[in-house]
Structure formats: C-alpha cells, structure tokens
Amino acid sequence: MLLADEPTTALDVTIQAQIMSVLAELRERLGTAMVLITHDLGLVAESCDRVLVMYGGRKVEEAATAELFAAPAHPYTRGLLDSVPRLVVGPAAHRAGTRPRLREIRGTVPALDKLPAGCPYAPRCPLASEQCRATMPPLLPRGDAHLAACWHSAHVPEIAHLSMR
C-alpha cells in the first residue's frame, strides 16, 4: 500500500499534476493501492475511488467518490463541499453582483483532548439536537456502500438552505 500524506500541499497545479502522475505510475508498477490523505477536494474528485471523511479524529462518512460528492450524508461533508469556490458563469452575473458568497463552516475545530460529549461536530452543526450533543452517532449505512455517523443524515440535503451557525 502506498500512503501519500498531503503530497501536493502548497504546490502549483503543474507540479501537483506531475506528483500525482508519479504516484499513479508507482501504483501501476507496484500493483498497489494508494491511501491519499488530503484537504484538496479537487484532487480527491480526480484521483480517488472512495472517500473517507474524518472530523475530530473520527470517521464521519465513507462512500464512493461520485456518490459522496453528489449526495453527502454528514453535515461536515456538506460544509466542506459548500466551501469549495465555484466559477461564476458569465460576466453578466459578475456585473449584476450575483456571485455566490463562499460558505464557511462557522466555529472552530475542537482540540482532540477536549472533544464534546456526543458528536464532535455538534457545536458547529446546523442540524444538531440534544441527541447529537449527548450521544455519539454510530456509523450507519446511508446507501449502497455509503456510511455516515449522523443522527439527522436524512436532513443533510436541507443544509444548503439553512444558515450555518
């Protein structure tokens, strides 16, 4: 197994592509799998078959890449995807001031030695309930080979319409 921990952080796109090409060559030559650890969602979308999302040192979601990007089942994953800059289509949208504002995940990441009771994401989550604050949600199936640790995963699509606290 090839473990690549942030192999392209702070590199320009040309060098990033070269590094990923070398890693792909290594995988092919050695006939091995690769675990890519990164915060770069574009790189994940281009390079990975499956995605595992972690928060507070814990797995909160796992799915095939296309499924995770199309239908995230954890509020943190939804927040990550919503925070990716989108291209504004056409100069008219720019002139009209209709450029969408980047959404942020408000609050701060808790220290691993000071995680709250229950779900570690609850203090930042727009869906959090008393159940979330009291009890850690188990990792449950949310589709074909899609797992999420959220009591309210059925409501994650609605987050796009909620104000992040």
77: CATH: 3.40.50.300
For residue 101, being part of any structural domain is answered with: yes
Distance CA 105, CA 83 (A): 8
- Which residues span the domain enclosing 38? 2-107+138-159
| Pick from 50, 115, 126: nearest CA to 82 | 126
Radius of gyration of the chain (CA): 18
Taking residues 7-15, report their average pLDDT.
92
Torsion of CA 86, 145, 164, 45, to 10 degrees: -20
Q: Please, are residues 127 and 75 in contact by the beta-carbon 8 Å criterion?
A: yes
Other Cβ atoms closer than 10 A to 153 = 23
Q: Please, are residues 157 and 127 in contact by the beta-carbon 8 Å criterion?
A: no
Distance CA 15, CA 117 (A): 42
Tokens 């949310």 -> residue: 142
For residue 152, being part of any structural domain is answered with: yes
What integer best gives the mean pLDDT of the chain? 89
For residue 164, being part of any structural domain is answered with: no
For residue 26, being part of any structural domain is answered with: yes
Per the structure, the count of domains in the chain is 1
Distance CA 137, CA 127 (A): 13
| Residue 128 per-residue DSSP state | -
Strands 2-5 and 34-37: parallel
Give the pLDDT confidence score for residue 138 in this predicted structure: 96
For residue 115, being part of any structural domain is answered with: no
For residue 165, being part of any structural domain is answered with: no
Of 26-30, 70-74, 154-158, which range is least confident? 154-158
Say what percent of the chain tops pLDDT 90.
75
For residue 96, being part of any structural domain is answered with: yes
Q: What stretch of H or E contains 35?
A: strand 34-37
For residue 100, being part of any structural domain is answered with: yes
User: The pTM is what?
Assistant: 0.85
Q: Read off the pLDDT of residues 62-120 as tens digits, 9 standing for 90 and up.
A: 999 999 999 999 999 999 998 887 766 666 666 666 666 678 888 999 999 999 899 99
